Amino acid sequence: MMRRKNDNKRYFTRMGTRKKVHAFVRVKPTDDFAHEMIKYGDDNKSIDIHIKKDLQKGFVNNKQTDWSFKLDGVLHNASQDLVYETVAKDVVAQALDGYNGTIMCYGQTGAGKTYTMTGTTENYKHRGILPRALQQVFRMIEERPTHAITVRVSYLEIYNESLFDLLSTLPCVGPSVTPMTIVENPQGVFIKGLSVHLTSQEEDAFSLLFEGETNRIIASHTMNKNSSRSHCIFTIYVEAHSRTLSDEKYITSKINLVDLAGSERLKKSGSEGRVLKEATYINKSLSFLEQAIIALGDQKRDHIPFRQCKLTHALKDSLGGNCNMVLLTNIYGEASQLEETLSSLRFASRMKLVTTEPAINEKYDAERMVKNLEKELALLKQELAIHDSLANRTLVNYDPMDEIQIAEINSQVRRYLEGTLDEIDIINLRQIQEVFNQFRVVLSQQEQEVELTLRRKYTLIDKNDFAAISAVQKAGLMDVDGHLVGEPDGQGFGLGVTPFSAKPGKKAKSKKMFKEQLSTSARKEGASSPVGGKDLDFSTSKTQLTPSSKEGDVKDMLMRDRETSSTEPLPLDSPKEELRPPRPSTPPPKPVAFEDFKNERGSEINRIFKENKSILNERRKRASETTQRINAIKREMDMTKEALNFQKSLREKQGEYENKGLMIIDEEEFLLILKLKDLKKQYRTEYQDLRDLKAEIQYCQHLVDQCRHRLLMEFDIWYNESFFIPEDIQVSLKPGSSIRPGMVPISRIVSLHNYLKTMMGFQQAHRK
């Protein structure tokens, strides 16, 4: 729903409803009024015409004798005052709220168009719509001290499709070199070359109006053009800016007051030359005017023929469409003029059917908008400063972040993800946004790293590529669940290969079937089973044996454990015994075993791992402190710069002193310069330190990663050797024995063991 302003207090009223073109009829007073033929309705809104039979002879092919015209008002014996009130007052008032308005006088020559529009210049009482409109505009401006309103006027005459500036004789208007043209731009339509005059008061506007009127009359003498044979458009341009500077919206509007050329049709005979030419132009332009207005009222029409003639083109943004439109038809009251009167009334009733949809011409003052936004910004910054100091949050910097600050946030995010940093303190919105940003950066880096590691270690196969999968399964590289077994680089032995009778290439239909198969085969082997003849809990052992285990994974644990809890034991009660405890019937969960491992074989590597981590943490802490110092120095530099600027402005205000080409500055300014230089030096040193630290951190991080990897690898070997390799074979794996831990894949050891057992005649597999 659109709204429109109406006056100072009542700013908006409902709008968006379609309005009709208002059509009025004004009858020229006469002593010879055709009472029998012209009758007014009681409501003064209709006219009935009745033609007597004998008169009708003159009307070719027209058998009709009675017409009834419904209008918005019939002005009969109406004073100029009443005409203005009825026809123009609202249109002018709404123009000050941003609606374009057009008032046109239509009718045959002598019927009173000019009288209605301009009035008689010699009698103030008989002044027409034009002077009254100017008066109303200026009066309304006075009533609106809240707005700075400017008024401009122009006076255009269109004669035989040529444009004339009726105010071109004013001293301020230079001689026009090129003929006037109608130009369209996004702001609307304007006439290039037509002088537009700023008028700050009523008197100025009146004098312009008289100038134009005089010129119109003079031209009819010097240029031999009949003044009633031309269209005249007097335009009042209004632009209203709110005096409240924060209001960047402003409105513009035009009031077009149009005195049309006489609409009478030329008698068939006797016209020639100039008169014929004039009549042809007038007929054409008036019929184009009608076409354009009717097209505007037709919502289905998207093309309006505005450019067909100068009149409609010049009035393009002021006809129908989004403006208030009034058509005043001037008619004679005499019987002898009935034919033209009828034609004029027909035109009026056609116009009355047209609907328009007035809209405000609202524009934005870009410069004001920027200024207001700048002001708002400064105010909000101040507000923020106050807020910070009240909340004891001093020295928060809200400026855009520099490289170092962003790097620091990146480091925070990394530490947060790793678990070395419990939380990231919220400082301001910009910082929060940067934290999120860095999360994204770190995440995408990690994704790439993970993929790279996986690709280096494994051959990735598309899950939907069944041919490739079956090929891999045939080659024994993948179990039926799609887990890759074994590792191509030979590092991860002991993981993944099922140590029991699940034969490579043997297809099982489901995971469940596969598990059943495994457990039966394990049961069959009974006491000879390398794990002591008991059923294995495959759900655990499988997790432990596949490289991509999820829960209870030591890798996960290590990541969690990383750097923070390195000194604390895991929240699991793990017995810490010097000697290896007797082998349990089922292998302990990996996290528990890991604790044992760290105290046992892994103690040395674990110590190195912890040491490296603490060095890394220490370096990180130092880097963070250095970053903070750098930020503090930077802030101080900013402050010093500001103080220096202030001193400089003071110096400039007080006048500058020069001595032999050298600027004399006072001690305060000099000290500030020294301070700034010193700060700059500090900044550089700290920055260099930070860079060195960053390099060190990177190196330490690498060491920690390597240690972690090593620890894990050793643990896996230890775990498998401790819980999956038969005790008798473990002897040969003891330190000082021939086989070094991790040298032979566990699968090989186990199958070798089985083979040996068979050879030695142990047939315990069938023993219950």
| Tokens matching residue 119 | 């009035």
Map residues 502-541 to x or -, x wherever contact with Mg ion holds by CB under 5 A.
----------------------------------------
483 Cβ contact list (under 8 Å, min separation 6): 496, 546, 547, 548
Map residues 214-253 to x or -, x wherever contact with Mg ion holds by CB under 5 A.
--------------x-------------------------
What residues form the annotated binding site for ATP?
107-114
Residue 73 binds which of Mg ion, ligand ADP, none (CB < 5-8 A, kind-dependent) = none
Select from 100-108, 114-122, 160-168, 361-369 the region that touches Mg ion (CB under 5 A): 114-122
Q: Which is nearer to ligand ADP, 114 or 754 (CB)?
A: 114
Nearest-angstrom CA–CA distance, 597 and 574: 10
Q: Compute the least distance from the CB of residue 320 to ligand ADP, in Å.
A: 23
Specify whether the CB–CB gap between 238 and 96 falls below 8 A. yes
Nearest-angstrom CA–CA distance, 213 and 723: 115
Q: Which is nearer to ligand ADP, 344 or 405 (CB)?
A: 344
Residue 29 binds which of Mg ion, ligand ADP, none (CB < 5-8 A, kind-dependent) = ligand ADP
- What is the four-CA torsion angle of 734, 739, 741, 744, rounded to 10 degrees? -140
Residue 136 binds which of ligand ADP, Mg ion, none (CB < 5-8 A, kind-dependent) = none
Q: Which is nearer to ligand ADP, 109 or 291 (CB)?
A: 109
Q: Which is nearer to ligand ADP, 330 or 747 (CB)?
A: 330
Q: Does 329 bind Mg ion (CB under 5 A)?
A: no
Q: Compute the least distance from the CB of residue 135 to ligand ADP, in Å.
A: 20
Q: What is the DSSP letter of 119?
A: B
Q: Which is nearer to Mg ion, 113 or 601 (CB)?
A: 113
Nearest-angstrom CA–CA distance, 739 and 167: 114
| Tokens matching residue 489 | 């680089």
Q: Which is nearer to ligand ADP, 262 or 530 (CB)?
A: 262
| Tally of CB atoms within 10 A around 550 | 8
Which among 208, 201, 200, 214 has a CA at the least distance from the CA of 234?
Answer: 208
| H-helix segments, 507-602 | 511-525, 538-545, 554-561, 590-599
319 Cβ contact list (under 8 Å, min separation 6): 102, 289, 292, 293, 296, 306, 312, 325
Q: Which is nearer to ligand ADP, 109 or 546 (CB)?
A: 109
Q: Compute the least distance from the CB of residue 328 to ligand ADP, in Å.
A: 11
Q: Which is nearer to Mg ion, 87 or 700 (CB)?
A: 87
Residue number closest to ligand ADP, CB atom: 112
Instruction: Identify the three-state secondary structure at position 574.
Output: coil
Number of residues near Mg ion (by CB under 5 A): 3
Q: Compute the least distance from the CB of residue 259 to Mg ion, in Å.
A: 6
Residue 28 binds which of ligand ADP, Mg ion, none (CB < 5-8 A, kind-dependent) = ligand ADP
Backbone φ/ψ region at 188: left (φ over 0), alpha (ψ -120 to 50), beta = left
Q: Report the b/e string of 706-717 with b at 16+ CB within 10 A.
A: ebbeebbebbbb
Residue 56 binds which of ligand ADP, Mg ion, none (CB < 5-8 A, kind-dependent) = none
| Tokens matching residue 293 | 């207005």
Residue 111 binds which of ligand ADP, Mg ion, none (CB < 5-8 A, kind-dependent) = ligand ADP
Q: Does 114 bind Mg ion (CB under 5 A)?
A: yes
Nearest-angstrom CA–CA distance, 79 and 281: 33
Q: Compute the least distance from the CB of residue 114 to ligand ADP, in Å.
A: 3
Residue with tokens 């410069």, as numbered in its chain? 367
What residues form the annotated binding site?
107-114
Residue number closest to Mg ion, CB atom: 114
Q: Compute the least distance from the CB of residue 111 to ligand ADP, in Å.
A: 5
Sheet with 46-50: list strands edge to edge: 38-40, 46-50, 66-70
- List residues binding ligand ADP (CB under 6 A): 28-29, 107, 109-115, 120, 228, 262, 330
Q: Compute the least distance from the CB of residue 231 to Mg ion, in Å.
A: 10
Q: Compute the least distance from the CB of residue 127 to ligand ADP, in Å.
A: 12
Rg (CA), the chain: 49
Amino acid at 412: Q
Q: Which is nearer to ligand ADP, 220 or 397 (CB)?
A: 220
Nearest-angstrom CA–CA distance, 176 and 155: 15
Nearest-angstrom CA–CA distance, 341 and 451: 91
Residue 107 binds which of Mg ion, ligand ADP, none (CB < 5-8 A, kind-dependent) = ligand ADP
Q: Which is nearer to Mg ion, 228 or 606 (CB)?
A: 228
Nearest-angstrom CA–CA distance, 176 and 204: 23
Nearest-angstrom CA–CA distance, 619 and 563: 13
Which among 253, 232, 30, 249 has a CA at the least distance from the CA of 129?
Answer: 232
Q: Compute the least distance from the CB of residue 113 to ligand ADP, in Å.
A: 3
Residue 110 binds which of ligand ADP, Mg ion, none (CB < 5-8 A, kind-dependent) = ligand ADP
Q: Compute the least distance from the CB of residue 99 to ligand ADP, in Å.
A: 27
Residue 606 binds which of Mg ion, ligand ADP, none (CB < 5-8 A, kind-dependent) = none
Q: Compute the least distance from the CB of residue 114 to Mg ion, in Å.
A: 3
Instruction: Identify the three-state secondary structure at position 66.
Output: strand
| Tally of CB atoms within 10 A around 138 | 19
Residue 112 binds which of Mg ion, ligand ADP, none (CB < 5-8 A, kind-dependent) = ligand ADP
* Residues in contact with Mg ion by the rule CB under 5 A: 113-114, 228
